[in-house]
Structure 1
């Protein structure tokens, strides 16, 4: 069947996570984890589900952008899309008028991600496979055909990308079996949101250690003395051998970042995440160079707009850890480009996954990266936050601090309809009862 798309709908779904300070950091002090949630319907009854992540106000703007893209999708057949996925990607990102709103960045790219995530979900469902398996079973040439290489061929050509995938075929089946048995290593951010009390932080760390977690991320950046105290508390709790990362969420100028992180060096963080503006490639490079003697890397990517910016981060040696995001970039298509570039530049990928649905989505991408691209787990791990998974029909499965590969067909995007209705903004019951609007 052709699976012709006959409808595309989008809803504004928000969860009042700010009430308990979940997700709080130095820049986003009161986030309400939210999503522009897309459903595409076909003439044969098969549906695809997709989303892009937001933190509350402004989700309605993304919803409008999704509606603006809908006319480019409705009427297309799934077969027609996937037979020229590069062309379809460019259709969405290069519309002669809509492109002016980006191009390929900001709200319009978030909307593109939501739509394309739903298309990938539809494709995986049509094939009866979880998305990671759909990708790993593809011929390398088909993978390449999904990627728009425009603007990045000075860093990675199609031929180089194909060579990477062909070389990774050796040992591929063994790595897939390894993932099915052991899962992909994860780290937790849930213990140390910025506005959590020390008592809550201590309890969450204690529980996490008992559950097998060995890698912990701490939010920093609001107050240096408070950061020193909290990092000392966390390091004392997790011990000297476990891994600690710190995340400033873009709070500092370049010189301030170098000075501030140097003051936290005694706690031996593996990386400082988003130390300055996510657009400041040369600033990240300066910070990376200054912190290298301290053994502290720089990580970023959750707000990196597109493959072109990632290209420049890698060319400038500005990142020691690449953090892809399944909803910031243009869905799977653009993330594939970044995974391949990161491998060429030998920079490990450690995805961002804090937020509603991001863990469900990005697990598929990192499994593909290990099985079909990097073949390495060295200095690699995927973020995990223990929030809101109960609202999905196929929630993530964590075992012994590892992501276990999803088994259900699709991209794990589908939310429970009851959850969507209750949390739809502003008419859902949760928001009718909540004075915080």
Structure 2
């Protein structure tokens, strides 16, 4: 029996705005950050969870974690995991905290960190990685992890069990593939940040091709001619007829008519999909864009979104409206593993592939588990998963790619346990003599103009 005895939060920020890593049309200069939750216990184990942000506001998420975490302080771990769906509903049911959601925004970001910390702790006590915890469950046990409130008009618990049973026969084979690191093909965004110069982008793309990548994503949404020039450089590097796939991402910068007109101009570069073409809340807008891009002279351009989609209810509506060809849930913007399981099953019901959002610190560490769960347990079909090659060195068990596939995590837990020295070094606002944020170099960010 393991009891949760307390919790701590950490505000950790990496100064990625200095080199424009992560830059896109909407977010010109983010500092990749983690609002961190650590659960202490009366055992040798701790639970680690985090939510990804891009700097300012990270402290607000930490405050929200401090408001939610007392709900589980003093609880036995077994009492939380025995009926996970019931526990999840309990965690979103504090009526006063719910008022500032419900189940969205900062309070839901905090919930994602807390729920994932519980899963990390549970997996460590079971001596398994999180993906294997789920893979070893029966269909009924997986479904008991989910709160089906608000989604039974699209997916019932009985339907979910039936969907999982349909792919049970070959699950053992898929587990073996996962154990050989052949379950989750990777794609790269590392060359495509909008703030990178064209020569740097070209060099990084060529390096990615040599490294065995077959899928490449570039940021768009600036000047149309600049977008055309950058995509032309990308196609020169990866080819049109070599089996390499190009994807583009506008990060919400356009209105619906702008998205349609801009993407018709970019259709000549044959992108698989346009990601976040408009407001992440505009279900009907995405549906209109998908309809308009179904038949361009250069072929169909799909529509993808999800990194800013706040809960299973929004995903349900996107699917019901036929608005998406690719679904991209974020591991911690929604309410942790449990809500991700609901979203994976909704996508399976509607026949839409899962390609999780993975472009941020700690996200590849998380999402490698989710994509493995999708392949092994839920869909039985391989998809692809974003990989960004930075900041992994700060984690005890960093995500990595080999031969074009994610190396399946086998260490117990959820893979986001950060090294203590990294936490101290990049703690915000931090301690004198310890934190980078107290150095002279940090003044460039702290005292410089805000980039909007």
Normalised-by-shorter TM-score class:
over 0.9
**1:44: Cα distance to partner?**
1.8
Aligned length: 434
For 1:276-334, what per-residue CA distance to the aligned partner results, in whole angstroms no more than 9, with x for missing partners? 00000000000000001131000000000100000000000000000011011100000
Q: Deviations over 1:249-274 (max 9, x none)?
A: 00000000000000000000000000
Q: Deviations over 1:344-401 (max 9, x none)?
A: 1000111110000000001101101101111112xx2101100100000000121012
Q: Does the alignment pair 1:125 with 2:130? A: no
**TM-superposed deviation, 1:429:** 2.0
Choose 58-67 or 395-404, whichever is displaced more. 395-404
Do structure 1's residue 382 and structure 2's residue 381 form an aligned pair? no
Number of the residue aligned with 2:427: 424
Aligned to 1:340: 345
Give yes or no for the alignment of 1:396 onto 2:372. no
**Displacement of 1:179:** 2.4
Alpha-carbon separation, structure 2, partners of 1:343 and 1:395: 29
| Equivalent position of 1:184 in the other structure | 184
Distance 1:289 1:242 in 2: 25
Match 2:336 to one of 327, 331, 338? 331
Trace 1:107-256 onto structure 2 (pairs within 5 A): 107-181=106-180, 182-240=182-240, 241-256=243-258
Structure 1 residues 42-121: aligned runs within 5 Å: 42-121=41-120
Q: Paired residue for 2:450?
A: none
Contact 2:302 2:325 in 1 (8 A): yes
The answer to whether the Cα contact below 8 Å between 1:11 and 1:424 also exists between their aligned partners in 2 is yes
Q: Which runs of 5+ in 1 are unaligned?
A: none
Q: 1:358 aligns with which of 349, 363, 377?
A: 363
Tell me the distance in 1 between the aligned counterparts of 2:72 and 2:227. Answer: 47
Deviates more, 1:204-213 or 1:107-116: 204-213
Q: 1:263-412 counterparts in 2 under 5 A?
A: 263-294=265-296, 295-377=300-382, 380-412=383-415
Q: Which runs of 4+ in 1 moved over 6 A?
A: none
CA distance in 1, matches of 2:134, 2:118: 14
The alpha carbon displacement at 1:404 in A equals 1.5
Residues in 1 aligned to 2:45 and 2:364: alpha-carbon distance in whole angstroms: 24
Distance 1:45 1:187 in 2: 37
- Residue in 2 that maps onto 1:414: 417
Shift in Å at residue 85 of structure 1?
1.2
1:17 aligns with 2:16: yes
| Cα deviation 1:68-126 (Å, max 9, x = unaligned) | 11210101111000012112111111211100010000100000000011000001000
Assess if the C-alpha contact under 8 Å between 2:84 and 2:145 holds in 1. Answer: yes
- 1:257–1:275 CA contact under 8 A, matched in 2: yes
SS in 2 for 1:292: coil
CA distance in 2: counterparts of 1:94 and 1:318, whole angstroms = 30
Contact 2:396 2:419 (C-alpha < 8 Å) held by counterparts: yes
**TM-score after normalising by structure 1:** 0.98
* Deviation for aligned residue 1:419: 0.2
- The Cα RMSD (Å) is 0.8
Distance 1:217 1:227 in 2: 13
Distance 1:424 1:160 in 2: 45
Checking the alignment, whether the CA contact within 8 Å between 1:397 and 1:406 is kept in structure 2 is: no
* Offset from partner CA, 1:196-233 (integer Å, 9 cap, x none): 00111111111111111111000000111100000011
Structure 2 alignment gaps of length 5 or more: 447-452
User: What SS class does the counterpart of residue 187 from structure 1 fall into?
Assistant: strand
Contact 2:428 2:435 (8 Å CA) reproduced: no
3-state SS of paired residue (1:425): coil
SS at match of 1:216: strand
Once residues 8 and 91 of structure 1 are traced to their aligned partners in structure 2, the CA distance between those partners, rounded to angstroms, is: 18
